[in-house]
């Protein structure tokens, strides 16, 4: 009797699970088609292109791994990888801590915090291109308000273009990216922080945790998933940086701010080597997948949720 | 809600099909009556007047309607290349003359050799445009708009600095002396300006001074000669202007966004620019300026004979209509652009319709005649790319003062590019 009962429930469960699974399958079809057409097919295509000498116009020929061999000896490519890594290492923590700070400031629900939330979020709404142009002129030594401001404060004549001096050019882009993107991460983090149940926080406070201790031992561990999402988005986004450098620095001074993707664009459309550009894209894609995998592993770590 | 959306989408789809079919029927039943639309591309540098060119043609040719699309200069090569491969190319295009060898080599344009030979005014067409429009002894593109580079000098600033306002500088030394005197006025006054990070700008305004000094970066066959000692002369001249502070510091990173604009603000003594700049200076009537040939080290004169060619894309559905537009562009169209302060590409129309408008136009029309245009199928990788050997050489030589090293590095990079692009 009992055993029959059990088997009945199990049966019901399996058929229900099957139905659910089938429904799920139908639900993912549109997304899968999208991924197939707009990701998988182009990606396989790029891999196929990367084994060819494929000019922008003209005859193509199969050259095997030649493009990859070239890549590993190409100083320009190697330098662009180094620079992109440097940029990522600097911009990721800056973005994260700025966003976290802002999220903690505006997590409340009072009218003032709402106003600030909106103000902080405004730059996110501007497109990357317009925002980059905005900053290009913002720091221009002739007409830009930023150098003008320093002049008024008495910091020299500021005649030198900031974008013409190396660490400064990178610094300008980083400030722009933080200004533009921190609020996006802020919203994600804020939502996660607001999702922590009041009881936990109150219990912790009763136990005497407050301020930084509360943040470090209670808040941060509880929003670990969001933090890992934010960091993965941020690292992937930074490794693929293009628009901001294309518009603000043009890869200069003297090619020192040429990012990997910018270099791929150059090789493909200005040096007319689509095949070589494809090979570099494949390398970047592989590196990005590996880095994201490692990040997922590390950040998931001892997550028991 | 979702249902209504679905219904709407469905209705729209049905409507589209019905409309599509009916327009097909319309086309086949009255092929002659319905106006043919020709897609025509131009780079954004011509945005000021190109739409009016299309409108003017459409006014006089109701049966053929030209639809003008402007493409950002920096994206023109990739847009036209990819469009021609995917079958979405325009029927006719205006194309920076310097890019024609690349497109002609790769079979993007229709062969216009016999059409060209039948033109009664063939001898009046700009030789530079004709040369760049040819590839392997066939003509693939014809002249459309002309542009030549000259030196602009601010007469009021020359006077203020104690120089003869009516005499434009004729050597490097004279430019340097004038730049020094104007910079000495202090404040925001600077002697000279150029866009230091822009390959195209400098091939237009700097290369002519290099050519007038007897140097060049490419042979007639397109082989790189970046280490030429006369190239060094021109580089060290610019380096002196820069290091002595006669040039605004913004020049170093200027990717062409400012180009000649600082001159229009009235604080810059001299700048290299072209016919287009005479047009834009009409908005600054307070600037009292003259134009003179860009000089070489010890005299002589150089100019970049530029502008656009016009070409018909291979595979166009309307070759006959495209030729009608081309006919117009080479005749009435030339008179029309002359009214827009654009230098015509026919010497006869330039003399009758353009030069009489302004005495300075004569200097520019003359510059067109002695001007030169590099011929290379690898212009984009060699010169236009922001990291090209040309741009890198200018940056290292002019702003860092390492002239010989800059030339050697550029030569090496250029040789590799030429080897690849053939």
- Give B125-165 as a DSSP string: B-HHHHHHTEETTEE--EEEEEEEEEEEEEHHHHHHTTS-T
A253–B252 C-beta distance less than 8 A: yes
The chain A residue lying nearest B107, using CA atoms, is A58
Give the Cα separation of B303 and A140 in Å (integer).
30
- Tell me which chain A residue has its CA closest to the CA of residue B258: A142
- Residues A240-282 pLDDT 10s: 999 999 999 988 888 899 999 999 999 999 999 999 999 999 9
From first to last of its 422 residues, chain B has per-residue pLDDT tens of 344 444 444 444 444 444 444 444 444 444 455 789 999 999 998 988 999 999 999 999 999 999 999 999 889 999 999 999 988 999 999 999 999 999 999 999 999 999 999 999 999 999 999 999 999 999 999 999 999 999 999 999 999 999 999 999 999 999 999 999 999 998 889 999 999 999 999 999 999 999 999 999 999 888 999 999 999 999 999 999 999 999 998 899 888 888 888 899 999 999 999 988 988 898 999 999 999 999 999 999 999 999 999 999 998 999 999 999 999 999 999 999 999 888 999 999 999 999 999 889 999 999 998 999 999 999 999 999 989 999 999 999 999 999 999 999 999 999 999 988 86
Most B-contacting residue of A57, A74, A246 (CB-CB within 10 A), to test interface: A57
How close A201 gets to chain B, by Cα (Å)? 42
C-alpha to C-alpha distance for B384 and A250, rounded to whole angstroms: 12
CA distance B192 to A244: 30
Start-end of CATH 3.40.190.10 domains in chain B: 35-147+306-370, 148-305+375-421
Look up the ipTM and state it.
Answer: 0.81
- Element holding A148 (H helix, E strand): helix A145-152
Task: Characterise B408 by phi-psi region: left (phi > 0), alpha (psi -120 to 50), beta (else).
Answer: alpha
On whether any CB of chain A is under 8 Å from the CB of B106, the answer is yes
Alpha carbon of B342: minimum distance to chain A alpha carbons (Å): 29
Nearest residue, CB atoms, A57 vs list B108, B249, B378 = B108
How many CB pairs lie under 8 A apart between chains A and B?
79
Structure tokens at B269: 């003594």
CA-CA distance, B276 to A262, in Å (whole number)? 31
Q: Which residues of A touch B140 (CB under 8 A)?
A: none
CATH class of B35-147+306-370: alpha beta
Give the start-to-end residue ranges of the domains of chain A.
1-50, 72-300
Check if B419 contacts A (Cβ < 8 Å): no
Contact A182, A173 (CB under 8 A): no
Tell me if A252 and B395 make a contact (CB, 8 A cut-off): yes
**Inter-chain CB proximity B417 and A271 less than 8 Å:** yes
How far apart (Å, rounded) are the C-alpha atoms in residues A124 and A229? 18
Nearest to A266 among B255, B387, B395 (CB): B387
| CATH code, B148-305+375-421 | 3.40.190.10
Is some CB atom of chain A closer than 8 A to the CB atom of B108? yes
Q: Options 1.20.1600.10, 1.10.3720.10, 3.30.710.10, 2.40.50.140; which CATH number does A72-300 get? A: 1.10.3720.10
Q: Which two tokens stand for residue A12?
A: 């019901």
Picking from B103, B262, B387, the nearest residue to A255 by CB comes out as B387
Residue B361 — left, alpha, or beta (φ > 0 → left; ψ -120 to 50 → alpha)? Answer: alpha
Contact A272 B421 (CB under 8 A): yes
Residues of B in contact with A266 (CB under 8 A): 385-387
Residues from chain A that touch B386, judged by Cβ atoms under 8 A, are 250-252, 266, 270
């Amino acid at each position: 009797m009992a055993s029959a009962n059990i088997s009945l429930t199990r049966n019901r469960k399996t058929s229900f699970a099957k139905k659910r699974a089938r429904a799920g399958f139908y639900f993912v079809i549109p997304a899968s088609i999208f991924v197939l057409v707009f990701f998988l097919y182009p990606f396989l295509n790029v891999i196929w292109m990367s084994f060819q000498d494929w000019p922008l116009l003209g005859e193509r020929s199969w050259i095997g791994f030649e493009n990859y061999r070239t890549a590993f000896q190409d100083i320009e490519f190697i330098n662009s990888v180094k620079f992109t890594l440097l940029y990522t290492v600097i911009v990721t923590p800056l973005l994260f801590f700025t966003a976290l700070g802002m999220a903690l400031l505006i997590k409340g629900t009072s009218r003032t915090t709402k106003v600030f939330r909106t103000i902080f979020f405004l730059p996110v709404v501007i497109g990357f291109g317009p925002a980059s142009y905005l900053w290009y002129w913002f720091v221009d030594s002739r007409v830009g308000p930023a150098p003008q401001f320093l002049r008024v404060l008495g910091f020299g004549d500021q005649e030198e273009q900031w974008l013409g001096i190396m660490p400064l050019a990178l610094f300008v882009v980083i400030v722009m990216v933080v200004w533009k993107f921190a609020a996006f991460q802020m919203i994600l983090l804020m939502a996660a922080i607001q999702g922590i149940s009041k009881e936990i926080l109150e219990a912790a406070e009763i136990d005497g945790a407050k301020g930084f201790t509360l943040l470090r031992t209670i808040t941060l561990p509880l929003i670990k998933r969001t933090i890992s999402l934010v960091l993965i988005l941020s690292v992937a986004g930074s490794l693929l940086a293009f628009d901001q450098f294309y518009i603000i620095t043009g890869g200069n001074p003297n090619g020192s701010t040429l990012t990997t993707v910018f270099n791929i664009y150059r090789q493909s459309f200005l040096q007319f080597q689509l095949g070589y550009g494809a090979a570099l894209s494949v390398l970047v894609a592989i590196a990005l997948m590996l880095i994201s995998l490692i990040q997922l592993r590390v950040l998931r770590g001892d997550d028991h949720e | 809600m979702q249902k209504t959306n679905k219904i709407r989408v469905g209705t729209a789809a049905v409507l589209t099909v019905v409309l599509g079919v009916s327009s097909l029927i319309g086309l086949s039943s009255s092929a002659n009556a319905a106006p043919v639309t020709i897609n025509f591309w131009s780079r954004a540098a011509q945005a000021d007047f190109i739409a009016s060119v299309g409108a003017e043609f459409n006014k006089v040719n109701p049966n053929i309607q030209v639809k003008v699309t402007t493409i950002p200069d920096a994206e023109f090569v990739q847009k036209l290349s990819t469009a021609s491969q995917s079958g979405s190319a325009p029927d006719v295009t205006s194309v920076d003359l310097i890019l024609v060898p690349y497109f002609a080599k790769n079979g993007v344009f229709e062969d216009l050799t016999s059409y060209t030979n039948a033109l009664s005014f063939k001898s009046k067409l700009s030789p530079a445009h004709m040369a760049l429009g040819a590839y392997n002894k066939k003509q693939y593109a014809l002249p459309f708009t002309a542009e030549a580079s000259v030196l602009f000098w601010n007469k009021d600033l020359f006077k203020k600095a104690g120089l003869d306002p009516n005499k434009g500088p004729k050597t490097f030394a004279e430019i340097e002396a004038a730049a020094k005197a104007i910079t000495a006025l202090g404040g925001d006054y600077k002697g000279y300006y150029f866009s230091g990070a822009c390959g195209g700008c400098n091939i237009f305004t700097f290369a002519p001074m290099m050519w007038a000094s007897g140097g060049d970066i490419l042979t007639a066959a397109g082989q790189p000669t970046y280490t030429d000692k006369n190239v060094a002369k021109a580089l060290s001249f610019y380096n002196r202007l820069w290091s002595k502070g006669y040039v605004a510091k913004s020049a170093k990173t200027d990717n062409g966004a400012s180009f000649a604009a600082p001159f229009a603000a009235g604080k810059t003594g001299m700048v290299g620019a072209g016919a287009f700049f005479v047009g834009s200076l009409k908005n600054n009537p307070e600037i009292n300026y003259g134009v003179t040939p860009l000089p070489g080290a010890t005299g002589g004169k150089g100019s970049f004979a530029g502008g656009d060619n016009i070409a018909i894309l291979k595979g166009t559905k309307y070759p006959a209509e495209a030729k009608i537009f081309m006919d117009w562009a080479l005749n009435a169209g030339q008179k029309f652009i002359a009214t827009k302060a654009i230098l015509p590409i026919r010497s006869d129309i330039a003399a009758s319709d353009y030069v009489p408008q302004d005495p300075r136009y004569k200097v520019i029309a003359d510059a067109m005649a002695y001007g030169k245009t590099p011929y290379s199928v690898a212009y984009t990788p060699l010169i236009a790319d922001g990291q090209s050997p040309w741009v890198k050489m200018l940056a290292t030589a002019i702003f860092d003062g390492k002239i010989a090293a800059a030339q050697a590095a550029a030569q090496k990079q250029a040789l590799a590019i030429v080897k690849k692009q053939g």
